[in-house]
Amino acid sequence: MSIFQAYNRISEYLDISRIIKDAPMKEHTSFKVGGNTALLIMPQSIDELLFVISVCKLHNVKYYILGNGTNLIVKDSGYDGVIIKLSEFFNKISIEGNRITAQAGALISAVSAKAAQNALSGLEFASGIPGTVGGAIVMNAGAYGGEMSQVVERVKAFDSEGNIVELTEAELKFSYRNSIFQERPYIVLEAEMKLENGDMEIIKNTMKDFTERRTKKQPL
C-alpha cells in the first residue's frame, strides 16, 4: 500500500485545496470524536470521484465513502487510508418539471427544502433527516409515513467493476430501511426523484409540523 503514491497522483488531477493530509475526522462527523485519516479527499464531480477510486485501487489503498459524517464514529487510532467526503462539493441539485436530480453528497434536507421552494410535494418527510441523498437511498430512509422508495425513480451508481450503471425503481429493491446497496458493493452517484405539484404553503406547513414534532421527541 502506498498512500504517498496515491496522494501524488490524485494531487495532479484535483485541486490541492480539496485534499487534506492527516485530517482530523472529529471535524467531519456529527459526534465530533475520532482520530485522523491519512487522506481526506473532496471530489466535486463524478469524473473526479471515479478517478480517486481508480487511483486507490491501482495503489492498493483502502478507501471509504463518507457523506456528511452523520452518526458515524471514527476510531481514535484513525484510518490509514483515503476517506472520500461527498457532502462538501458533490452536492448539486437540479429541477426539471416535477423531477429533482441530486448528487449523492447533497443533504436530503436541502433537497426537501428545494422541493418546497418549487411547490413540489413528496419529500416533506425528509426535511429533518440529517444525512445525504446517498445515505438516505442506501438505507431507504424515512419518517412520518414517508420514505425514499416512494419518490426515487432512478439511481446512477458505480459498480465494483468500475462501471457506471443506472438502476430503475424495481432494481433498487427497496424494503424497510434496506436497498440493493446493502447487498452489492455499489456507490451511489446521483438520484432522480419524481414528486407531485402541490401548494407551497401547505408543503411548508407540513414540514414545519414535522420539525416541531421531531424537536419535541429529540431535543438537541
Residue count (the chain): 220
User: In this model, does residue 100 exceed pLDDT 90?
Assistant: yes
When pLDDT is averaged across residues 51-74 and rounded to a whole number, the result is 94
| Whole-number pLDDT of residue 220 | 64
**Structure confidence at residue 105 (pLDDT):** 96
**Residue 1: which pLDDT band, with cuts at 50, 70 and 90?**
low
For the segment 154-162, the average pLDDT, to the nearest whole number, is 93
Half-sphere exposure of residue 41: CA atoms within 13 angstroms, side-chain side: 31
Overall average pLDDT of the 45-60 stretch: 95
- The arithmetic mean of pLDDT across residues 150-177, rounded, is 95
Amino acid occupying residue 82: V
pLDDT band at residue 10 under the 50/70/90 scheme = very high
Phi/psi at 95 (nearest 5 deg)?
Answer: -125, 135
* pTM across the whole model: 0.91
Read off the pLDDT of residues 122-141 as tens digits, 9 standing for 90 and up: 999 999 898 999 999 999 99
Q: What is the mean predicted confidence (pLDDT) over 145-156?
A: 97
Residue 125 Cα to chain centre, angstroms: 17
Own/partner contacts of 203-209, CB < 8 Å, gap of 24 or more, are 203/115, 203/116, 203/119, 203/120, 203/121, 203/124, 204/116, 206/124, 207/112, 207/116, 207/124, 207/127
**pLDDT at res. 161:** 86
Residue 26 pLDDT exceeds 70: yes
Band (pLDDT 50/70/90 cuts) for residue 2 is: confident
Residue 13 has pLDDT above 90, yes or no: yes
The residue type at 112: S
Q: Evaluate whether 140 touches 147 at the Cβ level (below 8 Å).
A: yes
Q: Which of 1-10, 89-98, 145-154 has the lowest mean pLDDT?
A: 1-10
